[in-house]
Structure 1
Amino acid sequence: MKKYSQGSREAQEKQKNDKKNVPVLVITYFVIFIFIGMMVHLVKYVVIDADSDIANSYNKRQNLYAETVIKGQIISDDGVVLAETKTDDDGNETRVYPYSNMFAHAVGYDSNGQAGLEMVSNYFLLTSNQNILYRIYHALSDKKDMGNNVITTLDYDLQSTAYNALGDNDGAVVAIEPSTGKIKAMVSKPDFDPNQISSVIEETANSDSSCLLNRATQGMYPPGSTFKILTTLEYIRENPNYKSYSYECEGDGIFNSVSIHCYNHKVHGTVSLEDSLAYSCNTSFSNIGTKLDMDALNKLCGDFLYNKELPYDGYYKKSSYTMTSKTDKSLIPQTVIGQGETLITPLHNAIIMCAIANGGVLMKPYMMDRIENCDGSVVKKFSKDSYGRIISSAEAQTLTELMMSVTEYGTASDYFSGAEYTVAGKTGTAEFNENKDSHSWFIGFSNVNNPDLVVCVLIENASNTGASATSIARKIFDAYYN
């Protein structure tokens, strides 16, 4: 009995000690957990994130590399030097842009701040993979190494055509290979000479000029009738019998107490869904819009990246779409024809068309193809990368067939008459003020059975200049195939 009592006391003492040790164990395990977490984070940074963080265009430490490296060249896909550093006899370096304004927004500038590829690819241009013997020699003789060169996806001939075709008009052009995401041309006007960037910045600071704004990626415009592509898709989703759609267009109509008219009040007569898109019939689409599920249309717009980040490394603005079932219904007739409060950039409109052209799968747009050292050896290759499926392949095919009506007998037929290639696309007229002044849009792709190129053209205030976005698109497509 006594022995049992002694054992009980020992057990009780052990329990007391165990209870006292619980906080110590908790703290110990917590410290171990934190330590393991820190180690995992450190390994992840060293193995995975370090290079991307160093290469981040906002990392100011990159500029320290300029003390030991001469910044490399930016070169077009077809071998044309677009930016390079010239060094005089005294060792003074000057960044030179041989084609001045033509590539101004795509290539950017490298003094008084940075923009374009000069900013995005700064790390690669200031990193040297020159032959090790030369680097040792340069280190011993206090000379700089030659930086790596960035080979872009930009095509000189296509860029030149787009730049010249846009002429004196303000606006933007974006051309992308839908199967890869390679950006072949990007033009914005008004433009500037990056060789004179100091004076350009000084002049723009004291004026209303917006020449530094890259309208292709940062210009926000009503999509106009190009938005009817999404309205069409939503109608198809909600109405499997969409081929039987019929509407009697009288040139004008009242929808949700809002007056809508077709361009120049043109009477289109009896139109199908295909005809409605081909002729860009505003009253037909407003009629369609009043019957659509606005929340479903909002989701569709989100799927096409409205209000979302774009899979693009450069600087851009997010497009905006606000219509839901809770929004004032008087906005529906305007919204479904691309007016109202909806805004989009030319780059984003091109991205939407790329997804359709590529069978519903969006390839991430990019402008850097590879990095080479000064001897031409490949240091890094940027491969095409899929963002994911946006719509089904069947939906993409249906939209393609409907958009072909635009170029075969609709609003773009006169412009593509006689072309040796097929085109599916959509024209757009986007009013932007109370005076009914409008921008001109065209988005489309060529060789519809195996799409080669997506082209998006936006011309500002075209109603007062007489310029046509579709005419410019035709010139770009022609240049691509010639």
Structure 2
Amino acid sequence: MGCCCACLPNRRAVGETVPERVRGVSLLISLGFLIVAFALGYWQLVAAADLLQRSTNPRIVEEDRRIIRGEILDRNGEVLASSEHVGEIVQRNYPYPPLAHVVGYASTRHGKAGLEAAFDPILRGSQGTDWESTLRNALLPTERQGSDIVLTIDLRLQRIADEVLGDRSGAIVALDVGTGEVLALASHPSFDPNTLDERWEQLAADPSRPFVNRALDGQYVPGSVFKIITAGAALDLGIAQPDERHRHEGDLIVEGFRIRNTNHPQLTELTFAEEFAWSCNPAFALTGLSLGFGEHIDFNKFGPPQAYVWEPRDVTASVDRFREYADRFGIGKPVPFDLATAAGRISSGDTMTAVGLASTAFGQGDLQVTPLQMALVAATVPNGGHMPVPYLVSESRGPDGHVSVRRTGPPGRQVIRSTTASQLNQMMKLSVETAYARPAQIPGIAVGGKTGTAEVGQSGTPHAWFVGYAPADRSGVAVAVIMENRGSGTEFAAPAGQRVLEAAMRLGY
């Protein structure tokens, strides 16, 4: 039987392709092993610590049910958070729920927030405050006991801050001018961390946003309290003097935008200090426009009753100066702090028109600030132009009560010259003594302050602001108050600030 050679397989061809296929398969297998080895190495060596610490890690969740977390205490030893046994489970307890935005919560279902999250390694004992605690917790994890942390918060002052805010949305920050210690930090509405698991869905859907820490993350248009920064820039640059008297009856028109002179109808002759105390928008719009010209500001242009029409000029240098001083005062960047903070902003874009600069200089425009930022602005004035660095946690203590870590505020920075701060201090005292901030007066104590009624749109009720400090002749306590959509800063925020400052003085600060 014959056969056709063409039907026979080509043995040479088969012999040549098999090794190539083997090499290809081997290469794929080797590459697969390399990928697996790299992934294992990454997850075990690089990302292991992060994975182990995640609140969703079943091991961590199970550990948290048995760990006796350290207590969180106020500066006087009042308990703000503690652990208690409920059967075999350890449960967290919060004796003063309104401080939830500071203390936070530790939940096996919803994770951790606030200082419970920020200082979790210390509180849960995985980062011991001494080598004996660290070793004991590593060898005997089922008996782990965390370390306590002590806050700068004074619960007595905190209660006052919460009381004056009441059921209105807003925030109050009070801090030690000299040290940066935060004495009170209130944010309303708040929530009860003791019932967090049961009410989570309701709280998360609440349109009033109770989870938002308004003192740190709330970003608001500041209104006239921002004039502290504009005035500080003008005084520091030497283009305005507090006691120079001039006549002022007219409005200001900038490229067709009219800024009305309505805040001091009883005064037609006044000083720059009085323009500040009576919160004159045209005067501060002109101040902002003039920051980069290197010329003394001529406020006499406001003398005639008819409006002063600003002559258009290139405001690039003034915008740069304005941004420089806003940046010096910390606007537009997060405050270094024990909890995360919002940055605020100077403007919504990289450029600013003359109209934008004019309105921003008196506290409107696209400005956004946080209450913590404005408390620090206030603290800078009586502190010789030096802005303190705020902090919340002053020390940690091991389970045996031994203080192993004691913290103080890091060095602050010089924002304006001490002579400028002294001038600004006198202007803020004048505001409390004679003008819109009078409701902040404390009998027998010199108080510096500034009110703001911040417009939030044509249909919205303005935010009420007050920032100030007492006493004005030494480093005492600074406060910032924001009441959302409340109206007049003089009528609502200044009395609230007065109560907090008066309580602080009574407590010996």
Q: Smaller-chain TM-score range?
A: 0.7 to 0.9
- Map 1:70-109 to 2 at 5 A: 70-88=68-86, 90-100=87-97, 102-109=98-105
Q: In the TM superposition, what is the alpha-carbon distance from 1:155 to its structure 2 partner?
A: 0.1
The structure-2 alpha-carbon separation of the partners of 1:315 and 1:133, relative to structure 1 and needing over 3 Å to count, comes to: closer
In structure 2, distance between residues paired with 1:318 and 1:139:
43
In structure 2, distance between residues paired with 1:356 and 1:265:
25
In structure 1, distance between residues paired with 2:435 and 2:166:
26
Q: What whole-Å deviation, never above 9, does each CA across 1:423-463 have from its counterpart, x for those lacking one?
A: 11211110111226211111111112212101111000012
More displaced stretch, 325-334 vs 68-77: 325-334
In structure 2, distance between residues paired with 1:272 and 1:137:
66
Q: In the TM superposition, what is the alpha-carbon distance from 1:280 to its structure 2 partner?
A: 0.9
- Map 1:186-205 to 2 at 5 A: 186-205=185-204
SS at the partner of 1:469?
Answer: helix
In structure 2, distance between residues paired with 1:343 and 1:137:
46
Q: In the TM superposition, what is the alpha-carbon distance from 1:355 to its structure 2 partner?
A: 2.4
In structure 1, distance between residues paired with 2:341 and 2:322:
24
In structure 2, distance between residues paired with 1:124 and 1:263:
55
- Aligned residue in 2 for 1:121: 119
- 8 Å CA contact 2:236–2:416 kept in 1: the answer is no
In structure 1, distance between residues paired with 2:250 and 2:454:
18
The structure-2 alpha-carbon separation of the partners of 1:161 and 1:134, relative to structure 1 and needing over 3 Å to count, comes to: same
The counterpart of 2:343, out of the listed 318, 332, 335, is: 318
- 8 Å CA contact 2:136–2:144 kept in 1: the answer is no
Residue 364 (str. 1) matches residue 389 (str. 2): yes
Instruction: Among all aligned residue pairs of Structure 1 and Structure 2, give the percentage whose two residues are the same amino acid.
Output: 29
- Aligned residue in 1 for 2:449: 425
The structure-2 alpha-carbon separation of the partners of 1:290 and 1:257, relative to structure 1 and needing over 3 Å to count, comes to: farther
Paired AA for residue 467 in structure 2: I
- 8 Å CA contact 2:440–2:497 kept in 1: the answer is no
- 8 Å CA contact 1:172–1:189 kept in 2: the answer is yes
Q: In the TM superposition, what is the alpha-carbon distance from 1:414 to its structure 2 partner?
A: 3.7
Q: What whole-Å deviation, never above 9, does each CA across 1:58-99 have from its counterpart, x for those lacking one?
A: 8989958747741111000011100111112x2111111111
SS at the partner of 1:232?
Answer: helix
Q: In the TM superposition, what is the alpha-carbon distance from 1:174 to its structure 2 partner?
A: 0.3
Q: In the TM superposition, what is the alpha-carbon distance from 1:294 to its structure 2 partner?
A: 2.1
Paired AA for residue 92 in structure 1: I
Q: In the TM superposition, what is the alpha-carbon distance from 1:139 to its structure 2 partner?
A: 6.0
- Aligned residue in 2 for 1:14: none
Q: What whole-Å deviation, never above 9, does each CA across 1:218-241 have from its counterpart, x for those lacking one?
A: 001011101111111222234356
- 8 Å CA contact 1:323–1:335 kept in 2: the answer is no
- 8 Å CA contact 1:457–1:469 kept in 2: the answer is yes
In structure 1, distance between residues paired with 2:54 and 2:114:
13
In structure 2, distance between residues paired with 1:400 and 1:78:
31
Give unpaired runs (5+ residues) of structure 1.
Answer: 1-52
How much is the aligned-residue C-alpha RMSD, in angstroms? 3.1
The structure-2 alpha-carbon separation of the partners of 1:423 and 1:362, relative to structure 1 and needing over 3 Å to count, comes to: same
Q: What whole-Å deviation, never above 9, does each CA across 1:224-262 have from its counterpart, x for those lacking one?
A: 101111111222234356246444443744333212235
- Aligned residue in 1 for 2:433: 408
- Map 1:49-448 to 2 at 5 A: 63=60, 66=64, 69-88=67-86, 90-100=87-97, 102-111=98-107, 112-127=110-125, 128=128, 143-240=142-239, 242-243=241-242, 245-250=244-249, 252-262=251-261, 266-292=265-291, 293-322=318-347, 326-416=351-441, 418-435=442-459, 437-448=461-472
The structure-2 alpha-carbon separation of the partners of 1:238 and 1:130, relative to structure 1 and needing over 3 Å to count, comes to: closer
In structure 2, distance between residues paired with 1:325 and 1:374:
52
- 8 Å CA contact 2:67–2:90 kept in 1: the answer is no
- 8 Å CA contact 2:154–2:184 kept in 1: the answer is yes
- 8 Å CA contact 1:174–1:187 kept in 2: the answer is yes
The structure-2 alpha-carbon separation of the partners of 1:337 and 1:267, relative to structure 1 and needing over 3 Å to count, comes to: farther
More displaced stretch, 213-222 vs 306-315: 306-315
Q: What whole-Å deviation, never above 9, does each CA across 1:336-369 have from its counterpart, x for those lacking one?
A: 1100001000011112222223212222110001
SS at the partner of 1:473?
Answer: helix
In structure 1, distance between residues paired with 2:212 and 2:481:
16
The structure-2 alpha-carbon separation of the partners of 1:456 and 1:206, relative to structure 1 and needing over 3 Å to count, comes to: closer
- 8 Å CA contact 2:285–2:361 kept in 1: the answer is yes
- 8 Å CA contact 1:459–1:467 kept in 2: the answer is no
Larger Rg: 2
Q: What whole-Å deviation, never above 9, does each CA across 1:42-66 have from its counterpart, x for those lacking one?
A: xxxxxxxxxxx99xx9898995874
The structure-2 alpha-carbon separation of the partners of 1:263 and 1:370, relative to structure 1 and needing over 3 Å to count, comes to: farther
SS at the partner of 1:327?
Answer: coil
More displaced stretch, 459-468 vs 220-229: 459-468
In structure 2, distance between residues paired with 1:261 and 1:461:
22
The structure-2 alpha-carbon separation of the partners of 1:131 and 1:308, relative to structure 1 and needing over 3 Å to count, comes to: closer
In structure 2, distance between residues paired with 1:167 and 1:329:
40
More displaced stretch, 322-331 vs 179-188: 322-331
Paired AA for residue 113 in structure 1: G
Count of residues paired in the alignment: 425
- 8 Å CA contact 1:73–1:85 kept in 2: the answer is yes
- 8 Å CA contact 1:308–1:319 kept in 2: the answer is yes
SS at the partner of 2:106?
Answer: coil
In structure 2, distance between residues paired with 1:188 and 1:286:
32
SS at the partner of 1:352?
Answer: helix
TM-score normalized by the length of structure 1: 0.80
- 8 Å CA contact 1:258–1:333 kept in 2: the answer is no
Paired AA for residue 261 in structure 1: R
- 8 Å CA contact 2:129–2:396 kept in 1: the answer is no
In structure 2, distance between residues paired with 1:182 and 1:123:
23
In structure 1, distance between residues paired with 2:362 and 2:54:
39
The structure-2 alpha-carbon separation of the partners of 1:60 and 1:403, relative to structure 1 and needing over 3 Å to count, comes to: farther
Q: In the TM superposition, what is the alpha-carbon distance from 1:281 to its structure 2 partner?
A: 1.4
- Aligned residue in 2 for 1:9: none
The structure-2 alpha-carbon separation of the partners of 1:291 and 1:125, relative to structure 1 and needing over 3 Å to count, comes to: same
More displaced stretch, 354-363 vs 365-374: 354-363
